[in-house]
Every structure is written in structure tokens, then in C-alpha cells.
């Protein structure tokens, strides 16, 4: 059963306006920025999260920034009855932004069944419920990990990575994203009227410039920047760099880091694209499904990111090189030309600004959305 934690009339009691949006999200920084971007664009939003690794405080922070306390439901995507309650209560919902799921490459190699269950099974369950309620606009949070190790082509023809690059994910996490993409493609092909955007994120970084919202994973972070931020405020002793023997300019893996606000704007652009597609523009008895890379087109090594964030902090941060991590690849740099031309979108915020925003969030919230632990005598 869904647990409702929001205040309905604080937002939904207004006169008719733009279509409503249903956003399910896990505890990652760009989810809350997505909600803020939608609200600032005049959209109505309902949020779902199972709170397994996150805090309701994020919803309160959204209110501080926008003045809106969005309706929030605590429910798992595998709970069909709970989902039906939400869509019954909010008939104004016309589109879904699907972010929910487990998201760590390394962790996925240790508990793959949990990833397949929550990510793939949860998505299939959500799609079945959406069919019942005839909600057919769907934006999926995919990942550049679906491409796998693009150096396998040998001639660097797929670096930076275009959307037509053959997919070959190397981790269970990446495979869940790949499987979900295939499911959505099949579903759209079989169902006229469905409009699906597959947004392949590269590496989100930064935080909301207000310092009120940022990534706050409970426990030990699995991603580079959140872990480095905890090192900077003394919550962790040092960062572990997984491998310095890659064939890159400094031996560490290369990733395309994109500011969370640029990523949020990419979602708005994708939604607007889906909304502009008329049913008579679709292929006969098929729906619409299209993939776009969301990245900057510029790759940075792990060591370059450490240097950039250390600059924002004002001191060198401690790290230690260890063995490669299972599932990691050499280079994940986007070729974002399709999104630039078709969505009229591009990433604009530089890495230095992203590091400054992340450091502001970290200094204002050294323990994330949680209270500082009591000191032991």
C-alpha cells in the first residue's frame, strides 16, 4: 500500500494548468533537480520513492526552493496495488519520468539478483499499471553503461560514443538499463500512441547552486564525487581510485561529467519533444521510442576530477590507488549531437562550477539531509 507523505492541496488544488507529471526517484541528486526544473517550468508533479536509501527531507528542500510542497508517496514500484492508488488519486497525470532503481556498478556485481528484481521487474510492473490508466508519455533514466567498453572496436570509431553504438554492457547494472531499453522499444512498437524517451546519462555531478539539494546516499557512496565530498569534510579517510593502469592520459578511467542542472534541462527538452509528437505522425500501428545521449562531449579522467574538486575545496584531498573495479570500462564520453539537434539542448555548465556547487552543498550539509551524529565521550 502506498504511504502518502505530501500535502495534496498545497499544490494540486489550483485551477487547471499544464499536464501532471509522475516522478519516481531514488536518492540521487539529479532527481530532486528534475522536480525543481519541472515546477519552475509551471508543471504539476507527483513524486514516488520507496525511501530505501533516501530521505523525505529532500521534498522539504524542494519546497524551500520553489515554495511548493509536492505530493509524495512512499511505495515500491513492484507494488502494483500501491501504484494503482496513486494514479487513481491523481488522474491529472499524463506523463511519467522513471528514475527509480539501484544504480551502482560495483554493487551490482555482488547482488545482481537485487538489481534485476528492482530495476527490471519494477519497470515491467510500472508499465503494466500505466497501460491500465492509459498514460503513454514515458521518459526513462537510462545510462551510458549500456554501451560497455567501446574500445573493443579498436579504431576509436565509437569514441565519443554515438547513440548508434552497439550495446554491450559489462555490469549487471548496465544490463538492467539495456534490458529495460529493449522492453520499452518492444512496448512502444506494439502500442500505438506510446511515446518513449530513452535518456542515456553520462556522469552527473554538482548540486543545486542554492546549496539546499545534493546527492545524499545513505551509507558509503558508490560514486566518485559523493565519496570525494565525504573525504573533504572528514567523513571518510581517503578516496579509493580503482585502477591507474588504463590506457588513458594518466592511467585512470575517463568519464563525461555533466552538471545536474544541465541534466534536468535535458529532461524538460525530452518531455517537450514527446508532447509535440502528434499521433498522426507516428508509424502506422507503432508508437515512438528514441534514445538520446545526455553528456558534454568532453571526457575527464578520475585524477582530473580529483584535481578539480580539490581546487574548489582549497586543498589536496587524500586518495589511494587500488585494483580495478569489476564492470568498469576505460572511456564513457558522450557524442551529444543528436540531443543538440533534435532536442535543442546542450550542456553549458563547466566542471569547475559543478565542483563549486557540490562543495557548497557539502559544506552546508556535511551529513547530507541527516543530523550530525552525536559525539561519543
CA–CA distance, 130 with 26 (Å, rounded to integer): 20
Bridge partners of 255, per DSSP, are: 300, 332
Q: Which residues are catalytic?
A: 173
Burial 118-127 (b: 16+ CB within 10 A, else e): bbbebbebbb
Supply φ then ψ for residue 47, to 5 degrees: -115, 140
Which element (helix H / strand E) includes 321? strand 319-322
Which residues make Cβ contacts (< 8 Å) with residue 44, sequence separation at least 6? 11, 12, 17, 18, 19, 20, 21, 92
What are the Cα distances from residue 68, in Å, to 59, 166, 171, 237? 9, 42, 38, 38
Q: What share of the chain is helix, strand, coil (3-state, %, to 5)?
A: 40, 15, 40
Query: Which residue, 185, 177, 227, is CA-closest to 202?
Result: 177
CA–CA distance, 194 with 162 (Å, rounded to integer): 24
CA–CA distance, 104 with 307 (Å, rounded to integer): 23
Amino acid at each position: 500500500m502506498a504511504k502518502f507523505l505530501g500535502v495534496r492541496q498545497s499544490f494540486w488544488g489550483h485551477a487547471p494548468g499544464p499536464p501532471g507529471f509522475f516522478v519516481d526517484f531514488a536518492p540521487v541528486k539529479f532527481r530532486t533537480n528534475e522536480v525543481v526544473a519541472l515546477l519552475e517550468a509551471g508543471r504539476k508533479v507527483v513524486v514516488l520513492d520507496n525511501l530505501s536509501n533516501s530521505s523525505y527531507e529532500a521534498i522539504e528542500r524542494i519546497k524551500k526552493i520553489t515554495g511548493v510542497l509536492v505530493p509524495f508517496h512512499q511505495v515500491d514500484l513492484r507494488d502494483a496495488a500501491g501504484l494503482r492508488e496513486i494514479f487513481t488519486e491523481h488522474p491529472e497525470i499524463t506523463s511519467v519520468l522513471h528514475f527509480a532503481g539501484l544504480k551502482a556498478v560495483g554493487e551490482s556485481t555482488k547482488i545482481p539478483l537485487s538489481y534485476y528484481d528492482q530495476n527490471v521487474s519494477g519497470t515491467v510492473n510500472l508499465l503494466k499499471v500505466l497501460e491500465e490508466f492509459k498514460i503513454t508519455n514515458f521518459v526513462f533514466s537510462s545510462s551510458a553503461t549500456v554501451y560497455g567498453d567501446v574500445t573493443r572496436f579498436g579504431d576509436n570509431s565509437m569514441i565519443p560514443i554515438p547513440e548508434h553504438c552497439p550495446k554491450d554492457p559489462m555490469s549487471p547494472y548496465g544490463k538492467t538499463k539495456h534490458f529495460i531499453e529493449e522492453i520499452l522499444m518492444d512496448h512502444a512498437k506494439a502500442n500505438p500512441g506510446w511515446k518513449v524517451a530513452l535518456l542515456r546519462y553520462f556522469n552527473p555531478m554538482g548540486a543545486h547552486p542554492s546549496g539546499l539539494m545534493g546527492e545524499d546516499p545513505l551509507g558509503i557512496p558508490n560514486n566518485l564525487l559523493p565519496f570525494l565530498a565525504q573525504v573533504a569534510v572528514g567523513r571518510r579517510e581517503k578516496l579509493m581510485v580503482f585502477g591507474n593502469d588504463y590506457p588513458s592520459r594518466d592511467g585512470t578511467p575517463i568519464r563525461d561529467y555533466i552538471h545536474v542542472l544541465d541534466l534536468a534541462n535535458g529532461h524538460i527538452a525530452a518531455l517537450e519533444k514527446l508532447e509535440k509528437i502528434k499521433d498522426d505522425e507516428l508509424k502506422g500501428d507503432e508508437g515512438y521510442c528514441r534514445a538520446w545521449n545526455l553528456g558534454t562531449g568532453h571526457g575527464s579522467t578520475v585524477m582530473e576530477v580529483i584535481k578539480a574538486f580539490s581546487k574548489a575545496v582549497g586543498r589536496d584531498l587524500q586518495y589511494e590507488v587500488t585494483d580495478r573495479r569489476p564492470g568498469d570500462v576505460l572511456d564513457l564520453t558522450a557524442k551529444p549531437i543528436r540531443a543538440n539537434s533534435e532536442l535543442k539542448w546542450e550542456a553549458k555548465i563547466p566542471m569547475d562550477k559543478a565542483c563549486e556547487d557540490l562543495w557548497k552543498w557539502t559544506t552546508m550539509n556535511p551529513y547530507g539531509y541527516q543530523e550530525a551524529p552525536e559525539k561519543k565521550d
